[in-house]
Amino acid sequence: MTKHIEYKTSGTCSRMVVIDVQDDVITDCKFVGGCPGNTVGVATLVKGMTCEEAVKRLKGITCGFKPTSCPDQLAKAIEEALAE
């Protein structure tokens, strides 16, 4: 079963992250807004990764002086979606 997640980010330059997950594996990921080089890079790297592994690697990453980052927001989106 494919799960489609649209998560409004908070505290980052990106405004939203859109993720598709099938059988606990991320099949697609896109950020809306943010620094294209970084967000496209992160989105490309997590494709094919399990949700658990993505959260483990990305959770808690900060961006400069901000307490969060686009990767951290991606981890939060995955965690919230899996908790539903």
pLDDT at 37: 94
Place of tokens 């901000």: 66
Contact by Cβ (8 Å): 25, 43: no
Report the CATH number of the 2-83 domain. Answer: 3.30.390
Predicted confidence (pLDDT) per residue in 1-46, tens digit: 889 999 999 999 999 999 999 999 999 999 999 999 999 999 999 9
pLDDT at 77: 97
- Average pLDDT, stretch 42-54? 98
- Average pLDDT, stretch 45-70? 97
pTM reported for the whole predicted model: 0.95
DSSP string across 7-62 = EE--SSSEEEEEEEEETTEEEEEEEEES-HHHHHHHHHHHTT-BHHHHHHHHTT--
pLDDT at 20: 97
- The amino acid that residue 73 corresponds to is Q
pLDDT at 1: 81
pLDDT at 84: 83
Place of tokens 């993720």: 19
Domain ranges of the chain: 2-83
